[in-house]
């Protein structure tokens, strides 16, 4: 009895202390957090509406790239087109086609190396007017030998293909691309097309992109859209398709149409080599060397063109581990680049004030930083906390109307997945945990700021490793992978949901339970594709 009384007394004392701290400290801090999250939500909402309006205007007024820029096909025997858009009759036949370098950086790409090499070598372009350069940073000698044999096979078929290796991996992908540009034969090239190891351009890729660069000397980059060959592999790849389709169909389209600026996606694009050199070439100071180069070239006044109807086949990461590493790189890198280039962008004299505002506010602040932070902080921390502290209320427009509209606008990129919106929202909230952590690492430049883990590509490996002629998804074993951070948030959200039902009106309970279940599923590793050993 005495022990029970002592325990009850301790609990009463703790409750009294909580009440003393809650009113003067916790409640004001939570109210401030709610106000900050609502402000960021409004910024994100306005950005989504703005991009939707611009996209609708582009479609209505048919502001396609071929109507805004000259892109006449290059015809053999018609004479080469000079830098001013005129014809030089002295250059006829294949010489009418400019020299193009095709770079394929790869690292231990056992499953997909043949895809990109074969597709690049099969491009419809005069064989003496392009060079395929395979930049192999592989550390596995067996894979190196396989890649070298593949290059030799295409060389025997008459393709000008170069196999290049380094003694180290300094600078990772940026370092490999930079070293590739130092070879003597590159001096004869005017443009460089870049494809990651899992990308498979169609034969007409160069004939559809190079004319924009040849006829418009102020254009530095032509970017194509990604098409995902394994989007239907699992629910996680469907979620990725929704996010990336919005990026390509909306964000890239809007940037190209309004300011002739957007972030280079690192692959499936063609650069004017002189523009790259003027911008300073490849730098490895962040994990987004592609975006770094694009921003520097944009600040030099160069224009970019996005071709939404030109698609290049690629592969989505289908294991959660690979996807998480990729998202860390894609979230940490832009934040770190923003930190490094903010002053340079603000003080630039070669671009207009509106373009500087667009790059700083729209491109970096809202899309690359606020978008990640508000999703996690608001829906995974603040909203559950208001359940525990009912003195703080969130207006309905903040937690119902704005998020609903933003979610619907996000779905316009992938209409076929409209029925998966709820799953997509819950999954994105979980991933916002990792993106927010990576964003803060990039902004503060600490910890894993320059961590580079190559995204694993499976190709047909899974089908080949499974017995039988038909593809069967392997049975998941819960013990294969446990993510403790996700499990901790699952418990927190479940507790808040139970508390909401027990002590409040239960308005948030359904959302909290669904989000808790999603965190739990990912926490026990039941997501994505499991590759059997």
Cα separation, 175 vs 135, in Å, equals 10
Tally of CB atoms within 10 A around 390: 12
| Burial 506-516, CB ≥16 within 10 A → b, else e | eebbebbbbbb
pLDDT, residue 1, reads 58
pLDDT, residue 180, reads 97
- Longest CA–CA span in the chain (Å) reads 106
Cα separation, 36 vs 481, in Å, equals 35
Q: Select from 3.90.550.10, 2.60.40.10, 3.30.70.141, 3.40.50.720 the CATH code of 96-234+244-316.
A: 3.90.550.10
In contact, 261 and 429? CB cutoff 8 Å: no
In contact, 528 and 236? CB cutoff 8 Å: yes
pLDDT, residue 312, reads 98
SS (H, E, C) 40-104: HHHHHHHHHHHHHHHHHHHHHCCCCHHHHCCCCCCCCCCCEECCCCCEECCCCHHHHCCCEEEEE
Tally of CB atoms within 10 A around 55: 19
Cα separation, 196 vs 244, in Å, equals 17
In contact, 313 and 203? CB cutoff 8 Å: no
pLDDT, residue 528, reads 82
Phi, psi of 77 (to 5 degrees): 90, 0
> What are the residue ranges of helices labelled H in 247-352?
253-258, 273-279, 289-299, 320-346
pLDDT, residue 266, reads 96
Exactly one of 198, 284, 290, 292 is catalytic; which is it? 290
User: In the chain, where are the structural domains located?
Assistant: 30-63+235-243+317-453+479-532, 96-234+244-316
- pLDDT means per 10 residues, the chain with 533 residues, are 68 76 89 98 97 95 92 73 47 78 96 94 96 96 96 96 93 96 96 97 97 97 97 95 97 96 97 98 96 98 97 95 94 97 96 96 98 97 95 95 95 92 96 97 89 73 46 48 92 97 92 97 86 57
Catalytic, 290? Answer yes
pLDDT, residue 532, reads 58
Residue 193 makes CB contacts below 8 A (sequence gap 6+) with 100, 101, 102, 103, 201, 205, 206, 209, 269, 270, 271
Cα separation, 92 vs 35, in Å, equals 66
Exactly one of 137, 196, 245, 500 is catalytic; which is it? 137
Q: Copy the structure tokens of residue 529.
A: 């594709």
Q: What is the CA radius of gyration of the chain?
A: 26
| Burial 27-39, CB ≥16 within 10 A → b, else e | eeebeebbeebbe
pLDDT, residue 90, reads 46
Bridging pattern class, strands 161-165 and 219-228 = unpaired
Q: How far is CA 115 from CA 72, 195, 196, in A?
A: 30, 11, 10
Give this prediction's pTM: 0.90
Give the DSSP letter string of 98-121: PPEEEEEEESS-TTTHHHHHHHHH
Cα separation, 257 vs 473, in Å, equals 42
């Amino acid at each position: 009895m005495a022990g029970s009384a002592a325990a009850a007394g301790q609990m009463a004392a703790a409750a009294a202390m909580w009440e003393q701290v809650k009113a003067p400290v916790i409640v004001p801090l939570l109210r401030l957090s709610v106000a900050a999250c609502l402000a960021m939500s409004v910024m994100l909402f306005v950005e989504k509406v703005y991009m939707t309006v611009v996209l609708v205007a582009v479609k209505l007024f048919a502001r396609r790239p071929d109507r805004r820029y000259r892109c006449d096909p290059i015809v053999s025997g018609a004479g080469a087109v000079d830098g001013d858009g005129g014809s030089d009759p002295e250059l006829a036949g294949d010489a009418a086609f400019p020299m193009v370098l095709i770079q394929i950086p790869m690292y231990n790409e056992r499953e997909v190396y043949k895809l990109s090499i074969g597709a690049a070598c099969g491009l419809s372009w005069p064989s003496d007017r392009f060079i395929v350069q395979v930049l192999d940073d592989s550390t596995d000698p067996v894979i190196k030998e396989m890649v070298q044999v593949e290059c030799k096979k295409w060389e025997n078929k008459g393709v000008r293909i170069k196999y290049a290796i380094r003694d180290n991996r300094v600078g990772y992908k940026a370092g490999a691309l930079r070293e590739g540009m130092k070879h003597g034969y590159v001096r004869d090239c005017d443009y460089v097309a870049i494809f990651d190891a899992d990308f498979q351009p169609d034969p007409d890729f160069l004939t559809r992109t190079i004319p924009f660069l040849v006829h418009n000397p102020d254009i530095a980059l032509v970017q194509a859209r990604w098409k995902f060959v394994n989007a239907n592999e699992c629910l996680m790849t469907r979620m990725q398709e929704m996010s990336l389709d919005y990026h390509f169909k909306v964000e890239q389209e809007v940037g190209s149409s309004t300011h002739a600026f957007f972030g280079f996606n690192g692959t499936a694009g063609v650069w004017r080599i002189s523009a790259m050199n003027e911008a300073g070439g490849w730098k490895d100071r962040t994990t987004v060397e592609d975006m770094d180069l694009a921003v520097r070239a944009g600040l030099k006044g160069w224009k970019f063109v996005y071709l939404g109807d030109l698609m290049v086949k690629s592969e989505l990461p289908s294991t959660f581990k690979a996807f998480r590493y990729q998202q860390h790189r894609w979230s940490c890198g832009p934040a770190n680049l923003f930190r490094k280039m903010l002053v340079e962008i603000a003080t630039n004299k070669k671009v207009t004030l509106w373009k500087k505002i667009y790059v700083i506010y729209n491109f970096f602040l809202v899309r690359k930083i606020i978008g990640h932070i508000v999703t996690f902080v608001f829906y995974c921390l603040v909203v559950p906390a208001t359940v525990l502290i009912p003195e703080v209320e969130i207006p309905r427009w903040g937690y119902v109307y704005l998020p609903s509209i933003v979610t619907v606008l996000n779905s316009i990129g992938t209409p076929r997945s409209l029925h998966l919106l709820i799953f997509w929202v819950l999954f994105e909230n979980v991933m916002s945990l990792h993106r927010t952590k990576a964003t803060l690492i990039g902004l503060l430049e600490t910890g894993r700021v320059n961590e580079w883990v190559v995204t694993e590509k499976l190709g047909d490996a899974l089908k080949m490793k499974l017995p039988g002629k038909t593809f069967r998804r392997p049975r998941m074993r819960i013990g294969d992978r446990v993510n403790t951070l996700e499990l901790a948030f699952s418990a927190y959200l479940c507790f808040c949901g139970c508390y909401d039902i027990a002590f409040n009106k239960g308005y948030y309970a359904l959302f909290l339970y669904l989000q808790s279940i999603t965190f739990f599923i990912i926490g026990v590793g039941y997501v994505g594709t499991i590759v059997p050993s």
